[in-house]
Amino acid sequence: MTVERIDEETALLTNATNTTKNSNYVQKRRRGPTPLPKVQISILMLLQICEPITSQSIYPYINQLISELDITGGDERKVGYYAGLIESLFFVTEAMTVFQWSRASDHIGRKPILLIGLAGSMVSMLLFGLSKTFWTLVISRCLTGLLNGNIGVMKSTIGDLTDSSNRAEGVSMLPVVWSLGATIGPLIGGTFARPHERFPKVFTAPFWKAYPYFLPCLIGVGYVFVAFWITVLVFKETIPKKRRSRTSSTDGSPSPSRVSPDGPLPLRELFTYRVVLSVSNYVALAFLSISFNALLPLFLAMPLDIGGLGLPPSAIGYVMGGYGAATGLFQFCWFAKINRILGEKRVFMTGMMALPGCFAMLPITSLVAQYWGVDALVWVLIAFTMMLAVIMDMAYGAIFMYITASPPTKAALGATHGLSQTSASISRAVGPALSTSLFSLSVQENWLGGYAVYLIFGVLSVASVLLARQLPEEVWEEEEEEEEENEG
């Protein structure tokens, strides 16, 4: 008599049960998607806009701000080192706390954590705008990361508000509103930085000359302030009290033997194959995407003779704002439709395959600008680069669907997104500092004519495509787990 070994990877459902659930799943699909909770989703989208407004409004002027601090000694080739450090600090400190914030949201609810994150964003942005030294900039960016766990919590909240039938629609809204914020943020930064120079008849007080970058920070804080109070007054908690009471039982350290699908899991039990694979692909995407986004404004700002285009902050704001608007419009109109036609894996693969092109277009554009100047052809190349970046951004929605379906139990959704966001934050901490430092190093040492940075990231982009191939053709079978919970 043969005794079958049973472990955590052994299928627990019989073929007959699987057949029944597959039939239920087909019937569910035929009934069409569940209507989205419009009020809850709308408020969450308002909160999502806060992130890119506060984080990306600094990009059009950060390089000019760094050069004005005299920390570079007047050498513009060194700007990349310090600008990359400022951009990375948020993700370094976020990586220290985002898992704790996300896991706490499983215990006490999503709403309190969201409110703490909004308050943290307001305080840190005001401090950033009032900073007069490099180290006060460092402190303000660190506070932003430490106090803000909203990135992972908002994704968990979307998972709470959607199911397998309507998640594509819910997911498609995240990059849309992120892109709206990514459009507004750089426009605010590029338009309202140094207002005493751009609007001398309006901003005449000495304060605006003493603090030339406070106004864009204040405008961003104003939006977050409104979103904070809308959340307080209107937003409803998305985690049922029954699940929170189970999750928060005893000392918050659940027993490994607990088998309830709603019971919390020990951290080690999150590291299943499908969680690790999904998170690994998300990390690769986050690292390469943030590296490109850090290189882009540096490339646009640096002089022609060191491989840039020499554009002013206002023009950089328009370029990045246009990119954000294009991404948002494309995601809103096409992501859900494309996802249904191609499937999550093909959408993710398409986005990842656009990354090598994004990095390749920057040195090509630089060479054209050096030979013919910043003319119409250069702007066409910039537009094509932004188009590739828009295609790349589709990968976020696809991998988010893999991550949301990967937790071992429903109660581990927040912890899973916390784990993914922690891992992504570490990669995002490394990305800007590494990419901008490699830009400066390539120029200073004349590696490959100053373009070595693009070759390095091009090779890494190709490697990420090979990792993406390991994902299954369809997302994990979360639909069956949901059906089981509903029937139970």
The pLDDT, as a whole number, for residue 378 is 95
Tell me if 446 is assigned to some domain: yes
- pTM for this one? 0.69
Tell me if 5 is assigned to some domain: no
The pLDDT, as a whole number, for residue 245 is 54
CA distances from 229 to 114, 242, 357, 429 (A): 11, 27, 42, 31
Q: Is residue 109 left, alpha or beta, with left meaning phi > 0 and alpha meaning psi from -120 to 50? A: left
CATH assignment of the domain containing 450: 1.20.1250.20
The pLDDT, as a whole number, for residue 417 is 81
When divided into structural domains, the chain yields a total of 1
Side-chain-facing half-sphere of 158: CA atoms under 13 Å: 28
Domain that holds residue 325: 36-242+269-472
Tell me if 250 is assigned to some domain: no
Tell me if 477 is assigned to some domain: no
Give the C-alpha separation, 318 to 316, whole Å: 5
C-alpha torsion angle, residues 330, 332, 335, 338 (rounded to 10): -80
Tell me if 214 is assigned to some domain: yes
The pLDDT, as a whole number, for residue 309 is 94
The pLDDT, as a whole number, for residue 264 is 54
8 A C-beta contact, residue 79 and residue 440 = yes
Side-chain-facing half-sphere of 64: CA atoms under 13 Å: 19
Tell me if 119 is assigned to some domain: yes
Tell me if 179 is assigned to some domain: yes
Give the C-alpha separation, 448 to 443, whole Å: 9
Give the C-alpha separation, 66 to 378, whole Å: 26
Tell me if 255 is assigned to some domain: no
The pLDDT, as a whole number, for residue 132 is 85
Q: What is the pLDDT along the chain (488 residues), one digit of tens a residue?
A: 444 333 433 344 434 444 444 444 444 444 567 888 888 988 988 888 888 888 778 888 888 888 888 776 667 777 777 877 787 787 788 788 888 888 888 888 889 999 999 999 999 999 999 988 888 888 998 888 888 778 778 878 888 888 767 776 777 677 677 777 877 888 898 889 999 998 999 999 999 999 999 999 999 999 999 999 999 999 999 887 665 555 554 444 444 334 344 455 667 778 889 999 999 999 999 999 989 998 999 899 899 988 899 998 888 888 987 887 888 788 878 888 898 899 999 999 999 999 999 999 999 999 999 999 999 999 999 999 999 999 999 999 899 889 988 888 877 777 888 888 889 888 887 888 899 889 989 998 999 999 999 999 999 999 999 999 999 988 876 444 444 444 44
